[in-house]
Amino acid sequence: MMQMLAAGGLPVLTDGERQADADNPRGYYEWERIKLLPQQPDSIAEAEGKVVKAVTQLLFALPPGRDYRIIFMQRPLPEVVASQAEMIRRRGTSGAALPPAALISGLTVHLNQVNNWLRDRTDISILRVDHHDVLRGPVAIAESIQKFLQRSLDIAAMAEQVDASLYRQRVSP
């Protein structure tokens, strides 16, 4: 998604610290300082007019007083957990001490809490984008993003960024 947004012509806030790897051979568009948002909520000012990538946990730290547009990427949680497990294995770190089913259940509640919290934030608009839909119809998704952001984007360039080969953690039908 970050590559789509960049190709569409949106400025991306990134520090380039995290290099491409086997999990994401086309590189990461990350901004390390977003992780400090809970301690330094005012740092979000640097993202004004730009795109920044954040995990749901960090949304709780978004300070009021600004107009936020969130493109909320959604994917079946079993796929998310499988993908995370693979990333954690490659990173050599240790994740949640929970079996996958319990972790899925925990993430479900976490997302419910996030969504519940988002409902009360009138300063945040949300576009929910299904990961599978991006792979199936990137043009339609790019158009919906253009409409949501109310900005003219390079739809064709955005669609070209979608690489279905990166979709590895499928849930068996």
Closest distance to another protein from the beta carbon of 145 (Å): 22
Q: Which residues contact 166 (CB under 8 A, 6 or more apart)?
A: 24, 25, 26
Task: Write out the E strands in the chain.
Answer: 68-74, 124-130
131 binds another protein (CB under 8 A): no
Q: How far is CA 74 from the centre of its chain?
A: 8
Nearer to another protein, 49 or 92 (CB): 92
Candidate ranges 6-14, 94-102, 124-132, 156-164; the one touching another protein (CB under 8 A): 94-102
Q: Which residues contact 137 (CB under 8 A, 6 or more apart)?
A: none
Binding-site member from 20, 45, 88, 156 for another protein (CB under 8 A) = 88
Nearer to another protein, 112 or 125 (CB): 112
CA distance between the termini of the chain: 24
Candidate ranges 2-10, 104-112, 141-149, 161-169; the one touching another protein (CB under 8 A): 104-112
Nearer to another protein, 12 or 157 (CB): 12
Q: ∠ at Cα 1 (110, 77), nearest 5°?
A: 30
22 binds another protein (CB under 8 A): no
Binding-site member from 60, 101, 140, 170 for another protein (CB under 8 A) = 60
25 binds another protein (CB under 8 A): no
Inter-residue contact 58 to 34 (CB < 8 Å): yes
150 binds another protein (CB under 8 A): no
C-alpha 110/C-alpha 92 separation (Å) is 24
27 binds another protein (CB under 8 A): no
> Structure tokens of 121?
């934030």
Inter-residue contact 3 to 159 (CB < 8 Å): no
Q: Which residues bind another protein (CB under 8 A)?
A: 18, 35-36, 38-39, 55, 57-58, 60-61, 84, 87-88, 91, 93-98, 102-103, 105-110, 112-113, 116, 120
